[in-house]
Amino acid sequence: MAIQWFPGHMHLTRKAIGERIKDIDVVIEMLDARLPGSSANPMLAELIQSKPGLKVLSKQDLADPVRTALWLDHYNAMPGVRAIGLDTSMASPAKALIDACQQLAPLRGGMVKPMRVLICGIPNVGKSTLINTLKGKRAAKTGDEAGVTKMEQRITLADDFYLYDTPGVLWPRIIVAQSGYNLAASGAIGINAFDDEEVALELLNYLIPNYPEALTNRYKITDVAGRTDEDMLDAIGRQRGAIQSGGRINTTKAADIVIHDFRSAALGRLTLETPTEFAAWLALGEQADAERAVRKEAFEKAKKAPGKKKTK
């Protein structure tokens, strides 16, 4: 089942970004270091035009450091783009954000030409936490669920540095199926938009071959590599006491445990995709989307075609 979530306020955010972008010098897109490709908003690329871009991999303290390095190299190889990794709870690396913006727009700065920066990102990616760190106080609301920030805010980080914070926004249709599951696992999608068990099974399906030691260490379950995702979910439920009457496993509770352990990093520092993997997923998604468009066009033409005349 494809996962989609685009509530009404996101339409307003999209419009606000389009209007604000004309006056912006640098666009910061915050990405979740555990899923950098899936958390990059393709809609934003259409809106920012040719503005210099800074990719900030947030929550890097929760992500696999080896894979974070791969993603930083990937983005830094792009023209007009810089990428840095930040732990948004730490003050010293947060200062790197301001320095990176000044490098991307060296002609901006001072009271005559103040730096104007727009910060964007998916819901629950850590924007508000970063802003509070930069500001040194609670300038923005924070929360563990998607959709905390509801309107644009202008924050003065220095006399000549203005940061415009926008609400977290996804895009109208997620064409990469794995991205939907990864976004749901990370907490970027509202809880009513997905099935916990389905997301947990997809998460385990990825972790079993890529991070078997993490599952063994957390749940004390042996032979992880030889298990299916469903078998692993049952084993976790049994190990953690998620058992219903008659000895049946409460798979909903087991799924909640798996998702919570991923989000809290109780499973360790994990990253759910590499640049190569995401590129392959994206190619498949784009192909499927193109085929869908062809089918839709053919259907629309068939509806408009004149019907056959009835014969007596």
The string of pLDDT tens digits covering residues 296-312 is 888 878 877 776 555 54
- Say yes or no: 158 and 212 in one domain: no
- Say yes or no: 253 and 130 in one domain: no
What are 145's two structure tokens?
Answer: 């669920």
Least trusted range by pLDDT, from 4-18, 93-107, 226-240 = 4-18
- Say yes or no: 69 and 100 in one domain: yes
Closest C-alpha to 227, from 249, 252, 195, 201: 201
pLDDT digits (tens, 9 = 90+) for 62-113: 999 999 999 999 999 998 899 999 875 666 656 787 788 989 998 888 888 8
Task: Please compute the mean of the pLDDT values over residues 107-132 and round it to a whole number.
Answer: 85
What is d(CA 78, CA 36) in angstroms, rounded to the nearest whole number?
Answer: 15
- Say yes or no: 18 and 126 in one domain: yes
Task: Please compute the mean of the pLDDT values over residues 269-291 and round it to a whole number.
Answer: 94
pLDDT of residue 39: 94
The CA–CA distances, whole Å, from 209 to 43, 214, 272 equal 32, 11, 11
Residue 295 resides in a domain: no
Task: Please compute the mean of the pLDDT values over residues 232-249 and round it to a whole number.
Answer: 93
Q: At residue 218, does pLDDT exceed 50? A: yes
Contact criterion met (CB below 8 Å) for 104 and 52: yes
Residue 172 resides in a domain: no
Residue 286 resides in a domain: no
Residue 305 resides in a domain: no
- Say yes or no: 160 and 90 in one domain: yes
pLDDT range class, residue 144, cuts 50, 70, 90:
very low
- Say yes or no: 134 and 214 in one domain: no
Q: At residue 150, does pLDDT exceed 70? A: no
Q: Assign residue 212 the CATH number of its domain.
A: 1.10.1580.10
Alpha carbons within 13 A on the beta-carbon side of 140: 31
- Could you give the number of structural domains in the chain? 2
Mean pLDDT of the chain: 84
Q: At residue 10, does pLDDT exceed 90? A: no
What is d(CA 193, CA 93) in angstroms, rounded to the nearest whole number?
Answer: 34
pLDDT of residue 275: 98
**What's the domain range around 95?**
8-165
pLDDT of residue 54: 95
Last residue of a domain, one of 263, 285, 302: 263
pLDDT of residue 223: 92
Pairing of strands 153-158, 161-165: antiparallel
What is d(CA 129, CA 135) in angstroms, rounded to the nearest whole number?
Answer: 10
